[in-house]
Structure formats: structure tokens, C-alpha cells
Amino acid sequence: IYKLISVDYTIEDGQLFQLLKRQCLHGVLSGFKYLVDTRVYPKKKEYIFKQRDENGCILLHYAACGGNILILNEILKIASEKVLEYKCIRGQDALHFAIRYKQKDMTDYLIQKYSLLSTTIQENMHATNSNTSNYDNNMFEMFAIVHWVAWLGDVRLLASLKQNNFDISLKTRNGLNILDLACMKKETEASEGEFEFCLHLLNNEAENIDPSKTDASGWTIAHYASLSNIRLLKYMAANKKFRYLIMEKTNSLKTCLHIACEFAKHETVKFIAKNFETLLQVEDELGWNALHFAAKGGNLDTLRYLLSKKCMKIDCRTKDGKTLLHIACIFKQTSICEFVVSEFSEELLNAKTDKYHLTAAHYLGVEKKEDESETKIFEILAGSKMKLSAKSSKGLSVLDFAIDHLNRELVTCMVKTKYREKLGLNPTILARCKENTKDDEIKRILQTAIDDV
């Protein structure tokens, strides 16, 4: 909750921010541009480059850390050079970060950038000691007392605030009011008094807190409840005044069932599926249904439960042609991958996305976790009838993707002797891969494989 209060982006945009942040930190230009071209521009989310996280950082700070000047320039092109003035909560700008993380080329480049700014701006940007306290005060003003009272779930304190003319309708920077925050409280963390606090807001504060309002991504309190609080969701389902909210969709057409599946809330999934059966086949704007979100969430019991419904088919695809296996590989859900591989036909195992012709194995290289899940899933795929030598529409192999996303752990696994034939690897291909990468560690891994061959 602290993070949700202190960030600029909504819950739904939070994932996009983190994906972009990861590409900035790793300096992966191709991954960054892919996200911009597919997730930022089409949905007009350019504003995300001016939004801060819980550290007061914008994506420019992380681009400075990663050291890729091309990524930094892409951000400036989208957000304007005005963002060079943005500081984190410690009063540090992008140049501070570049210096701190020893990015020499980036440091030189930013020094030139800042030298072009007016003298006044330069003085303001580098008067860190004098500005930090003011900025910190501004940050803490965002933590309104009413928000903390909502987290505590205390009706008496709320009444006291009202008596002393506090505005209880205040919203956080990303548009959350006290009812939203109260609904997010996990049932395991919430006491009886805190549940009563939610009921009090729903039934007695309608003039100040509109239960039907949405955040910038179109989430209602029902969506928040499906994220963490099944008790509140059941109350809403039993009350005619609020039941309709469970059927509402977000701006991206996600339902409460989608959210429960995505966040692996198994009991909530069963409750919604039983009482709101029409939601089972609903798709979001990308063509994802509950099964796709269950594959992302990683709860195998949820996936099995949904597949027990006649209307849910294991071979369902998203609008761009992704299967459950594509999604499970993207989010490194090992148990889901193992189950789907055992149930898929050979045709589905080798299914490719519509535009870029990517197999599930291609996606294994992106969004690295480095917790051995990538290698475990790769071994599962290698033991199946999947054609691991498949190329994308741009001629990129599975190994190319792993190298491009600096997934060293997966590259090490792929170039092992037992997998080379299945991947179609030979000394010429390995040498080409080595020549194309700028990562010294990956160069070493590939050279070792070349020497071994």
C-alpha cells in the first residue's frame, strides 16, 4: 500500500513501468523499443515517462543507470528534455545516477546535455542539499492522514477527521481514495474492525466516497477486492446495491475474474466462476481470457479448475496468437509449462504468434528472473516435440533472443552439448552470435562453446 500511495502510476500501468524500468537498467534497446511500440504508443501512455516510482525516480533515472544513451534519447524524445530536471526523493537527477553507477559515456553525454540548459535550471538541479528537504516535504504531503486511517481501518479515527474538517475524499497521486485502499487490504491481514471499516464506507459515506468511481485504468473497488479481499467481494455479491460492480470491466476490458486469475487467487476464482459464470468467456482488449491470466498467475489448480468448465479450451489463443504456453514462458511459470506441454498437441507446441512468428521458446529468453526457472522450463521444452530451431519473422532464433535480453543463465544452458543439435547450433552460428553481442560475459560463454565444438 505504501508503494501504491507514493507512485504516480496506476496498478495496471505499474507492470508497464516495471517492464520499461528493466529494459532501461539492462540497457536493452530492442526490448525497450518493443514496449514503446506495442504498449506505449498504441495506448497513448507516453505520460508514463513523466511518472515517478516510490523512490521518486522516473524512467530517465534508470536509463542513466543502464548506460544506454539511445534509450535515454528515446525517453527525451517522447517526454521532452524537461524531464532532465526531475529529481528523486534524494534530490538526485539523471546525471547523479550516471555518475553513481559509473556509466562514463552516459556521464559525459549528460554533462553536455545539462550544459545546454539555462544557468538557472543548472543551479537548481545541482543545489541538492538545499532542495532535498523541500522535495521530501512535498513527497510526504502525498501521504494524507486519511490514507493512513484507511490502512488502519479505524471508523472512530475517520469520524474524528471529519469533525475536524479533514477532506476524507482525498485521492492518492494515482487516483485511489480511502475506500480503494481499504478494499485492497488482504483478508489475512484485516481484522474484523477493518472489514467493518469497508462496510461503513460503502454504506455511510456515499456523499464523500463514490463506490462506483474508477481509477485512471478503470478499476473499481470490486477489481481491488478480487485482488486481495474475497470476504469483501462476497459481501458485494450478496448486496444488490454493489453486485453490478463485479461485472464491470476496466479500461482494458479486464474483469474481476481476470484479475483473480492473474494474481493467483484460487478461492476468489472459484467464487466468481460459480456466481458470475458469464465472465468465464469474456476477453480483454488483447483477447486474453481467464485461462490466459491463469497461465500468467501460475496457479496450476486454478488452470485445472477453469479447464474443467466446458466453455474453456486449452487451445485458446490471444488476438496476436499467443497460447497458454507462450504466456507461461513469458512469466516463467514452471508448473504451468510442464502441465501445458503434457496436454498440448505437437501443432500447438510449435504455434507461433501472428505478426512476429515467435514460439513459446523465444519468449523464454525475455523478462529474465535468474532463479533457474528459465533453465528448468527450457529442459521441459527440450524434452518435448517442440522445434527449438524455429526462427522468428526477422530470422531470430531462440538463442538470439536469450542473448539480446542478456539472459546469461539461459544462454549457458542452451549452448550445452546435449542441446546444440536441437537448437541447430554449429561453430559458424555461435561465432556470429558472439560477434553480434556486446556483453563480455556472453562472449565468454559462447567462446567456451565454440572451443568445445
Domain 2-141 shares a fold with domain 144-248:
yes
How far is Cα 173 from Cα 9, in angstroms, rounded to an integer? 8
Q: How many other CB atoms sit within 10 Å of the CB of residue 300?
A: 19
Say whether pLDDT at 290 is over 90: yes
Q: What average pLDDT does the segment 14-30 reach?
A: 95
Out of 143-147, 260-264, 373-377, which region has the weakest mean confidence (pLDDT)?
Answer: 143-147
Q: From residue 264, give the alpha-carbon distance in Å to each of 226, 362, 400.
A: 10, 25, 32
Say whether pLDDT at 164 is over 90: no
pLDDT of residue 234: 95
Say whether pLDDT at 150 is over 90: no
CB 330 within 8 A of CB 363: yes
Tell me the three cell numbers of residue 331. Answer: 512469466
pLDDT of residue 117: 62
pLDDT of residue 115: 67
pLDDT of residue 114: 76
Out of 72-86, 153-167, 398-412, which region has the weakest mean confidence (pLDDT)?
Answer: 153-167
CB 184 within 8 A of CB 229: yes
Calculated CA dihedral for residues 438, 443, 445, 446, nearest 10 degrees: 110
pLDDT of residue 132: 37
At residue 266 the predicted structure's pLDDT band, cuts being 50, 70 and 90, is: very high
One-character DSSP codes across 315-328: T---TT---HHHHH
CB 201 within 8 A of CB 178: yes
Q: What average pLDDT does the segment 142-156 reach?
A: 74
Position of cell 567462446? 447
Dihedral sign of CA atoms 202, 204, 210, 215 in order: negative
Write down the domain spans for the chain: 2-141, 144-248
Query: For all residues of the chain together, what is the average pLDDT?
Result: 88
How far is Cα 40 from Cα 130, in angstroms, rounded to an integer? 36
Position of cell 567456451? 448
Helices (H) and strands (E) in the chain, counts: 30, 0
How far is Cα 388 from Cα 349, in angstroms, rounded to an integer? 10
pLDDT of residue 153: 82
How far is Cα 175 from Cα 273, in angstroms, rounded to an integer? 29
Out of 61-75, 180-194, 385-399, 418-432, which region has the weakest mean confidence (pLDDT)?
Answer: 180-194
Calculated CA dihedral for residues 232, 226, 140, 191, nearest 10 degrees: 30
pLDDT of residue 133: 37
Q: Which residues contact 351 (CB under 8 A, 6 or more apart)?
A: 317, 321, 323, 325, 326, 359, 360
Say whether pLDDT at 434 is over 70: yes
Q: What average pLDDT does the segment 123-143 reach?
A: 40
pLDDT of residue 135: 34
How far is Cα 238 from Cα 240, in angstroms, rounded to an integer? 6
At how many degrees (to 10) do helices 300-307 and 334-343 cross?
A: 30
One-character DSSP codes across 172-221: -TTS--HHHHHHHS-TTT--HHHHHHHHHHHHH-TTTS-TT---TT---H
Helix H or strand E encompassing 306: helix 300-307
Q: How many other CB atoms sit within 10 Å of the CB of residue 376?
A: 16
pLDDT of residue 188: 59
Report the CATH number of the 2-141 domain.
1.25.40.20
Q: What average pLDDT does the segment 387-397 reach?
A: 94
Report the CATH number of the 144-248 domain.
1.25.40.20
One-character DSSP codes across 382-401: HTTT--TT---TTS--HHHH
Q: Which residues contact 442 (CB under 8 A, 6 or more apart)?
A: 403, 406, 408, 411, 434
pLDDT of residue 295: 98
**In percent, how much of the chain has pLDDT > 90?**
68
Q: What average pLDDT does the segment 205-224 reach?
A: 90
Say whether pLDDT at 69 is over 60: yes
